[in-house]
Amino acid sequence: MSDVIIIGGGLGGLFCGAILAKEGYKVDVFEKNARIGGGLQSFVRSGERFDTGMHMLGGFTENGSVSKLCRYLGIMDKLKLKRVDRDCMDTIHYFSDSMQYRIGEGREGFISSLAAYFPEEEENIRSYVDALYRITDGVDFFHLRSGSADLYSLDKEAFMPADELIASFTQNRKLRDILAYLNSTYGGVAGHTPSYIHALINVLYIEGTYRFVDDSCQMAQLLQQIIEGSGGNVYAANPVTHIAVEERQITHVTDSYGKKHSADRYISTIHPVSLLELLDKGVFPKAYCNRLQSIPNTSSAFLLYLVLKENSFPYINHTCYCQDDYGDAWELYRYDDRWPKGLMYMTPPVSNQGEYSRKMIVVAPMEYGAVEQWSGSTLGIRPDSYAKWKEECVERLLSKLERVCKGIRGQIEHITAASPLTIRDYYNVKEGSLYGYRKDCENIMLSQVPIYTKLKNLLLSGQNINLHGVCGVALTAVNTVEALLGSDVIVNKINNI
């Protein structure tokens, strides 16, 4: 019997487990996939290692929240990270007027890089960036400050739609679109996604963007070592298949071998809809189940993992975004005749990175509706019609990529493609959603899922609760663990290092 059982060995599960282990708890983590890590997983094709869900990292500056948490866990010095170029953290290329914008890092760098293209808008850009920092400053959990994780004390502007926030600072159509270019990193929808999500993600990357060197599973392995060092276990290829409940308490979970495991407490880090599937009907009230089912999810994506020929394509130390036209930034996920209207590509770094890159990751947002007709199929067993459709998507994506990376087809040695169905089945996440539940300012209550559940010994964590990504999920793990150990217990320790 362990102290805590964690369902899901992804970013959230491993962070919760490592923090608890550091505090002396014996934790057992159950992971469905053969490789632990969830979004931290990587895979090898043609000798090159690719990260699946962790390409740009925020929160790793000296005073960044993730750095602080990793220092408390004793793993910060062991992580191999590379900062992207400070004078150009991202480029955005528009095909409609062949413009390429280079975006600078840091509050002032960001403002001045954009003001160089829009000098008459400098004051508006500054006021807009001030608003981003003002909103972000109000979110205690983001800064690892003592206080509640709830957002209800934030000002009204934090809950207005992000596109409206941008529009309130500038009339310039082009600038409005550029200011929304990071949308694909949080899956925002115009008129719905609250400004606080937009502000947190923008500020996170503006403050400093990093990449894992070689692979992202290094972080999963370091967290696993902490858990095992305290007598716990991380079981890979061993999903939880059933959760038994008596008198509003979990009594045990059953693994894929039919073995029963008990603990004092349980933490679920999987998508809440996937959690419902593990519970018998009637465990949660119908209204709660309906609510979890009805919260909209962020969109999915179609991805290419390209192995490039040796010495053929340069290593680029920033992320590159490209788009057909201004006005598309909020619509990239729509699957229609114009898909893909935009994409992002990046060259992941390796140790002793040279001038050339052997790999590239291309991501094009895509709605789940594009693959819904094959939703009954599973990994490795998909119909021919799906394979044909996937080939067409690869072709459409490469044609678009070729417009910014001339001659890329001739430089490719091997292509692996992933669709929303791949993402759905690898992570067991509804609709292949990249970032879990989508927060909606039209119904902010609906999309705020509390850490506490109706079961006395079950807590929730992971990207569906507060915020997604390496920073959002790591900080949510702190909140969840504090629900067990007492408020500010971990935050104080982290801040006192």
Q: What does the binding site for ligand FAD look like in residue numbers (CB under 6 A)? A: 7-13, 30-33, 38-39, 53-57, 239-240, 269-270, 274, 301, 303, 423, 427-428, 434-435, 462-463, 468-470, 473
Between β-strands 263-268 and 2-7, what pairing exists: parallel, antiparallel or unpaired?
parallel
Is the Cβ of residue 53 or residue 349 nearer to ligand FAD in the bound state? Answer: 53
Least distance to ligand FAD, CB of residue 127, Å = 28
Instruction: Please state the closest distance from residue 426 (CB atom) to ligand FAD, in A.
Output: 7
Q: How far is the CB of 442 from ligand FAD (least distance, A)?
A: 23
Two structure tokens written together for 126:
């500054």
Min separation Cβ 11 and ligand FAD, Å: 4
Residue whose C-alpha is closest to residue 428's, from 277, 287, 291: 277
Per-residue burial over 465-474, b if 16 or more Cβ lie within 10 Å, else e, is: bbbbbbbbbb
Q: Is the dihedral of CA 462, 466, 468, 473 positive or negative?
A: negative
Could you give phi then psi for residue 414, rounded to 5 degrees? -155, 140
The pairing of strands 319-323 and 90-94 is: parallel
Nearer to ligand FAD, 111 or 363 (CB): 363
Q: How far is the CB of 398 from ligand FAD (least distance, A)?
A: 18
Of 5 and 175, the one with the shorter C-beta distance to ligand FAD is: 5
Minimum CB distance to ligand FAD smaller for 240 or for 332: 240
For ligand FAD, the closer CB: 368 or 427: 427
Q: How far is the CB of 300 from ligand FAD (least distance, A)?
A: 8
In the complex, what is the shortest distance from the CB of residue 377 to ligand FAD, in angstroms, rounded to a whole number? 18
CB of residue 471 to ligand FAD, shortest distance in Å: 7
* Cβ proximity to ligand FAD, 125 vs 397, nearer residue: 397
**43: Cβ contacts below 8 Å, ≥ 6 apart:** 35, 49, 50, 52
User: Is 462 within 8 Å of 13 (Cβ atoms)?
Assistant: yes
Pairwise CA distance, residues 3 & 244, whole Å = 17
C-beta closer to ligand FAD: residue 161 or 365: 365
CB 368 within 8 A of CB 299: yes
- Nearest distance from residue 92's CB to ligand FAD, in Å? 17
Minimal CB distance to ligand FAD: which residue?
10
Does residue 349 contact residue 82 with C-beta atoms inside 8 Å? yes
Task: Give the shortest CB-274-to-ligand FAD separation in angstroms.
Answer: 5
* Nearest-angstrom CA–CA distance, 221 and 212: 13
For tokens 């590159």, what's the residue?
A: 320
